[in-house]
Amino acid sequence: MAWFAVPVTLGVVAVALVVTAFVTTLGPLAESDGVVSADGSAQTVELSDDGTRLLMAPEGEPPPTCEATGADGSPVEVRSPNASYTFGDGTGSWSGFGVVDPGGDTLELTCEASASDSTEVRVGPSPSGGAFAGFAVLLVAGVGLGFAAFASLVLLVILFATGAPRSGPGS
């Protein structure tokens, strides 16, 4: 039965690669540095690092207008994201509307709701192009190893069923 070790090992590695691809790429979207009200007042958010941040508003609501100030007190540009991001966290869905590079571990946001109702702005790590490239590589490698595991398992079953001579341990 040791001859099943290769397809089983390939299958386990394939599953590990695919799970790693999803966890490392989509995991940061589940993180949040904070939620601020879009009521026109300046509010400070403590950041976990100085990386790029994605500003998100509740999905279906018009995005608020925000101005940002970095840790050194200088204005930080709020620009549109390069892609469309929507994230559901179990309590609601959020849609990305702005990206900022705070350059420090704090960010001061002053957001004004577009509609008459005050809304909230969620601040969290922004997905990067490098993360998606890594996702693609891990996903392709995992799927490729999965196919190799399946093909080697089919080959071994055919060899076993036809009674083809086998060599190795236990034969």
Give pLDDT tens digits for 86-95. Answer: 777 677 788 8
pLDDT higher than 70, residue 128 = no
User: Which is nearest to 131 in space by CA: 47, 11, 25?
Assistant: 25
Of 31, 30, 29, 15, nearest to 138 by C-alpha is 15
The predicted-structure confidence for 102-117, as pLDDT tens digits, reads as follows 888 889 999 998 776 6
Q: How far is CA 27 from the centre of its chain?
A: 4
**What is the distance of C-alpha 28 from the center of its chain?**
5
Classify domain 30-126 by CATH number: 2.60.120
Task: Calculate the average pLDDT of the chain.
Answer: 83
**Neighbour count for residue 47 (Cβ, 10 Å):** 19
Q: Phi and psi at residue 44, in whole multiples of 5°?
A: -100, 135
Percentage of the chain beyond pLDDT 70 is 88
